[in-house]
Copies of this chain bind each other. A is one copy, B any other.
Amino acid sequence: MQASPPSDGLRTSLHDRGQRLTPQRQRVLQLFERIGEGSHLSAEEVHQRLLRSDERVSLATVYRTLRLLSSMGLLQELELPEGGRRFELASDAHRDHHHLVCVRCGQTEEFESDAVLSAGEQAAAGHGFRLLECVLNVRALCPRCSAAEQL
């Protein structure tokens, strides 16, 4: 009894693009599936985590794979300037997927909002654009840092 092997979907998607299923690509994607949808990892973190579980993948390949999986729509790149490029598992639910970030300590909370999605859809439609993804970044101060700033 095991979860449906994720390799199948991946293999097919790759095949359609004339590309191959390799252990490295599986390892990267499975890592994201293991940690779940909410988590954002940098390339370096992906590399470290794979090494820790004895799954050898070179850093260059991590970069190549993150780019590939993003272009295939399986991962998506986050837009949080504080702290570099990060990736997370893509999902339809995440077309509307927002971040509340403390600009001082980096604490990040996620939230969803139909209001935001429909505002995004309206804006896109108004300019004749086709919406792909809609991400609201709220830069803020968390309670602790907000208190610290008052001093």
- List chain A positions with a Cβ less than 8 A from chain B: 77, 79-81, 85, 98, 100, 102-103, 109, 111, 113, 115-116, 118-120, 122-124, 126-143, 146
A81-B77, A129-B146, A142-B129 known; A123 and B135 CB under 8 Å? no
Residue of B nearest to A99 (CB): B123
Q: Do the beta carbons of B98 and A123 come within 8 Å of each other? A: yes
Q: How many Å from the CB of A85 to the closest CB on chain B?
A: 7
Q: How many Å from the CB of A126 to the closest CB on chain B?
A: 8
Q: Which of B79, B103, B115, B129 contacts A140 (CB 8 A)?
A: B129
Given the complex of chains A and B, what is the CA–CA distance between A72 and B77 in angstroms? 29
Q: Do the beta carbons of A131 and B137 come within 8 Å of each other? A: no
A79-B79, A81-B79 known; A137 and B138 CB under 8 Å? no
A79-B79, A127-B109 known; A139 and B132 CB under 8 Å? yes
Given the complex of chains A and B, what is the CA–CA distance between A8 and B101 in angstroms? 33
Given the complex of chains A and B, what is the CA–CA distance between A98 and B133 in angstroms? 13
Q: Do the beta carbons of A120 and B132 come within 8 Å of each other? A: no
Q: Do the beta carbons of B141 and A127 come within 8 Å of each other? A: no
Q: Do the beta carbons of A138 and B143 come within 8 Å of each other? A: no
Q: Do the beta carbons of B111 and A123 come within 8 Å of each other? A: yes
